[in-house]
A and B are shown apart, each in its own frame.
Chain A
């Protein structure tokens, strides 16, 4: 049976919901759930990144905040740090609850290493999507729309990753969707993180953080 599934083309496995993870092992099952955890975490991070920047204008509290004797850079730093703290808490809670839950069903299988590795991957993507959100909110004239746009980008890149699974000819596009950067099967069994994706992520995060600062500094605050 497993042999038969091995012969199955990748696209069919995606359509029928099988994958290369070993579902007989608890870590394999967790690997399947991971994509949903990842989606949740990144959506949360995106919204957080966008709203933390946009909310002053949305709630019309910007006149209060920006007439105080602090520079905009300090405000942005404080806001991003607050968002970061949230993300770290989200990540740690997910990790702790996953470990506890899996310990119950693992029958002695050591899974904590794998979970930790997956959570590290999740954290990088959380950071990435958070700064996508904040950069959009800083750049866009109507920052209220940033959250929708950033979420749109997230959903689009997720579907792109599904499409890449369906068709080998699309493999070249994998650099454009963060959801292909750290896949559960690679992170868990393939020896961890691919350097190229870590570099791409770090560069993107740094660039988008800079964009957030620069654009927010020169922004006209609108009602």
Chain B
């Protein structure tokens, strides 16, 4: 419990900054919604002159065309990108911070097992993410109610927002396994930027080809917002894939870290 509280305290400042940034970004985009909605209304009138076949081909129909939820899922991809960076940073720090700040000797000569240390640190990171998500979700729902043009399903809105947390968990686990395998990470940010953006771009490129299998290569594509809006649920196969990656990475981290030599600095 003491390590957990210590970690939570150590993350306090960065959690606040990340939460604040995410909220600001969301607010910035959401506040543009009303003007975009006006653009959409106007465009819808133009669209009416076209035959229905074309309208369907474009995937626009009057019902889902730029609802607040539709717009929200657009901005969500940016939010997820930033939130993943936060999670990846946290995950990569779990082990590498003690190595970099040379405090591993202090912590590991205390009467606790390495698993207990990892568990406490992991919990600290997860709780930080939960706090970020709770504040973010509260702010996002507030904004959605402020700017909504029509009613929207709170359930779908919640499901969409929750995907941020799921993607974060995947990157948290990836960060953890990376920091356990590569012991001396000098700059956490470099590593997490590289990994997160690599997956983001991979997701972008594979997305254009439209093949479902390729979506497995990027956690950013595990949660298809269009599917969630349509079915009010997640795609089970991707949910399982995400959970499997997270659990495997965390389990492997425990396993490797338990046998690791901690060298003098």
Known: A12-B39, A15-B74. A4 touches B50 (CB 8 A): yes
Interface hits, B39-60 → A, CB 8 Å? 39-40, 42-43, 46-47, 50, 54, 58
Stretch at the interface among B127-135, B187-195, B210-218, B239-247: B187-195
**Is B123 engaged at the interface, CB distance under 8 Å to the other chain?**
no
**Is A58 engaged at the interface, CB distance under 8 Å to the other chain?**
yes
B82 touches which of A12, A47, A155 (Cβ 8 Å): A155
B205 to chain A, nearest CB (A): 8
**Is B137 engaged at the interface, CB distance under 8 Å to the other chain?**
no
B190 to chain A, nearest CB (A): 5
* Interface size band for A: 20 to 34
A47 touches which of B35, B58, B190 (Cβ 8 Å): B190
B194 to chain A, nearest CB (A): 8
Decide if B189 touches A163 in the complex (CB within 8 Å).
no
Interface hits, B242-263 → A, CB 8 Å? none
A167 touches which of B35, B54, B204 (Cβ 8 Å): B35
- On chain A, the residues within 8 Å of B74 by CB distance are 15
Known: A40-B201, A167-B36. A59 touches B189 (CB 8 A): no
**Is A9 engaged at the interface, CB distance under 8 Å to the other chain?**
yes
Main secondary structure of the interface of A (DSSP, over half): helix
> 1/0 per residue A1-42: CB within 8 Å of B?
100100111011001000000000000000000001001100
- On chain B, the residues within 8 Å of A155 by CB distance are 82
* Interface size band for B: 20 to 34
Decide if B78 touches A11 in the complex (CB within 8 Å).
no
Decide if B193 touches A151 in the complex (CB within 8 Å).
yes
Decide if A15 touches B28 in the complex (CB within 8 Å).
no
| 23 CB-based A-B contacts, threshold 8 Å | A1-B54, A4-B47, A4-B50, A4-B54, A9-B42, A11-B39, A15-B36, A39-B197, A40-B201, A47-B190, A51-B187, A51-B190, A55-B186, A148-B189, A152-B21, A155-B82, A163-B28, A163-B29, A163-B32, A166-B36, A167-B32, A167-B36, A169-B35
Extra A-B contacts (6), CB below 8 Å, given A12-B40, A43-B193, A155-B82: A4-B46, A4-B50, A12-B66, A15-B66, A51-B187, A166-B32
